[in-house]
Each structure stands twice: as C-alpha cells, then as structure tokens.
Amino acid sequence: MKLNKFKSSEITPENFYINRRQFLKEMGIITGTAFASQNIITSALSYTPETERKITPYKFATTYNNYYEFGTSKSDPHKNSKDFITKPWDIKIDGEVENEITLSVEEIKNMIPSEERIYRFRCVEGWSMVVPWLGFPLNKLLNKVKPTSKAKFVKFTSVYDPDQMKGQRFPVLNWPYKEGLRIDEAMHPLTIMVTGLYGKELPNQNGAPLRLIVPWKYGFKSAKAIVNIKFVEKMPISSWMNASPKEYGFYSNVNPNVSHPRWSQATERVIGENIYSPRIKTVIFNGYGDEVAGLYDGMDLRKNF
C-alpha cells in the first residue's frame, strides 16, 4: 500500500492552515492552542493522498453540514449544536468480543495519538470537500478488544439525546443514527476515528467528540458522535438503509457508474467554488481505489451498492 505517495507541498491549503503545517513540521510540537493537551504525532504530516484539489475553506467545512440530529438544513448543525455537551463522553465497544470495554474519549485520545489525514469527502447528494482531519486509524481502537469468531461486521451507533438534539424529536430517520462496516473495511488503515480538523478540536457540528471517516464511501457512512461500537455477526441495517433501502445500500462506495435512483453520481460540485465553476468528474472509490479496490474483488458493485 502506497500511503506516502504524495508530498504535502503539492497541495495549496488556505493561508492560516499552511502556516500551521509549516509550524508543526518545523517545531515538531504543538503549543498554544486549545488542542495543546492532546496527543498528536507529527510524523504523519507527510501523509496526504491529495494532490490535485484545494483544501476546502474552514468556514464551509464547519457551516455546511448534514447532521439531521440538529436539523435538516445545511446551516442547522452549526446553529443548533453550539451548546451540545460532549464531556464526559464514553464509548462502549461490545458485541461479539471476548472483552467488552468502555472508554472515555479522553482515555482514547491519550492512548492513541491523532495524526493528520487530508481526505476528499464526497456526499451522496453530489457535492464534495477536501478536509484535513485529525484522527487515528480505527483499527488501533478496535485492537483493544478481541473479536470472537462470529464477528463479521462492526456496527456504529450515534448518541440519542433529543433534549440536546432537536432534530431527533422528529422521525426524520430511525434514531439513534446507525451505520456499519464490514470488519475488513473497519480495520483498513484509511478508516479513521476523527478527533479534530484543520488543526483544531472537532466542532460539534462536525460530529464531536468522536466520529468516523471512511473516505472512499459516501459521507453518510461516516457516523458522528459515536457512543457504541458493536461487533456483530449479521450485516447491520443502517439508518439510511432503513429509511430507503433502494436508494442507500450497505456499502455505499463512491461510484460514478452506479447512480442514485433519483440523481446521477457521475459528477460532483466542489464546495467553496464560485457560481460559474463547472462540476468535476466523480472518481471511483473517491480516488482511493489503489488502496481499497481489493476489498471488493469479485463483487458486483452495482448489486452491492
């Protein structure tokens, strides 16, 4: 697997961001930010699979979100999540495991250092961003438990708290939000648990305190505000599969050749571009085919959409 195939200098991030990158590189440490207490490894800064596309401005990545727990409009999550309480926060890892565990987010952050990953983020609605996440491979967390031989899938459950999340007071989806991955997808080094973005702590509207990012799948697969990770034998039914099984499949890999029943997936709009910018072509597996196509060898991607 060629993870270090691109140099970070090849991308053109926004100003404050490049400053931070250079600073991190030169100093090898992090100081003076809200994130100072966190455990971040800097060696991974050379890791970036992004060469062609510009990093999305921070403003858009944090104000243009799909997070129906806080409302169905794109601006709702930013508006309605301001007072959301994420401390204390426990995550239980259980199901088909020999040793189920409950860890606090603080414990997890101290145990596993975060690194930077610049990933493309493609929404099933046909728009995309490029986001510099801070996080760690999910496999490092999953390795804390021993799955039994029955375990085939991993099910993620997001928090249910209608008092704080007013979107959950309406049956838009079957709350709490549920997602799932096959174990090999969950263990894949590109699959990360996110603790921050743009060198900052993860904002509430982006799924604080801990969210998933699976860069080769449509954005809705990347569950936010996770409270439970369960190893299971049978393929989990995600909230979106439950809402519309013909439109949202379990795999939901980014694929320009398999269109959504109601719209095409061949192209995407780049967030932050101006009104006259054309759509760009969507790439299979969102451009991560070299790394992940092997997971689906021999599978009919049209059937397993």
**Range list of H helices, 132-281:** 138-142, 183-187, 239-243
272 part of the interface to another protein, by CB under 8 A: yes
3-state percent helix, strand, coil for the chain, nearest multiple of 5: 25, 25, 50
23 part of the interface to another protein, by CB under 8 A: no
3-state secondary structure of 210: coil
283 part of the interface to another protein, by CB under 8 A: no
CA angle 245, 156, 200 (to 5 degrees): 115
Cα separation values, 203 from 84, 230, 290, Å:
10, 25, 31
Q: Of 17 and 127, which has the nearer Cβ to another protein? A: 127
Looking at the DSSP bridge assignments, the partners of residue 182 are 153
278 part of the interface to another protein, by CB under 8 A: yes
Mark the segment that binds another protein (CB under 8 A) among 5-13, 28-36, 59-67, 99-107. Answer: 59-67
List all residues 6 or more positions away from 198 whose beta carbon is below 8 Å from its beta carbon: 17, 20, 58, 61, 131, 132
DSSP codes of every residue in 176-194 = SPEEEEEHHHHHSTT-EEE
Give the interface size with another protein as a residue count (CB under 8 A): 29
CA distance 5 to 240: 34
> Please, what is the minimum distance in Å from the beta carbon of residue 131 to another protein?
13
Of 172, 237, 284, 293, the one binding another protein by CB under 8 A = 172
> Please, what is the minimum distance in Å from the beta carbon of residue 246 to another protein?
13
Of 18, 24, 235, 271, the one binding another protein by CB under 8 A = 271
242 part of the interface to another protein, by CB under 8 A: no
236 part of the interface to another protein, by CB under 8 A: no
Mark the segment that binds another protein (CB under 8 A) among 42-50, 154-162, 170-178, 289-297. Answer: 170-178
Q: Of 12 and 244, which has the nearer Cβ to another protein? A: 244
Q: Of 57 and 113, which has the nearer Cβ to another protein? A: 57
Looking at the DSSP bridge assignments, the partners of residue 230 are 94, 155
Cis? peptide before 176, omega within 30° of 0? yes
Mark the segment that binds another protein (CB under 8 A) among 25-33, 88-96, 140-148, 269-277. Answer: 269-277
235 part of the interface to another protein, by CB under 8 A: no
CA distance 3 to 291: 8
Q: Of 268 and 291, which has the nearer Cβ to another protein? A: 268
Residues that bind another protein (CB under 8 A): 60, 63-64, 68, 72, 74, 125, 127, 170-173, 243-244, 259, 262-264, 266-267, 269, 271-276, 278-279
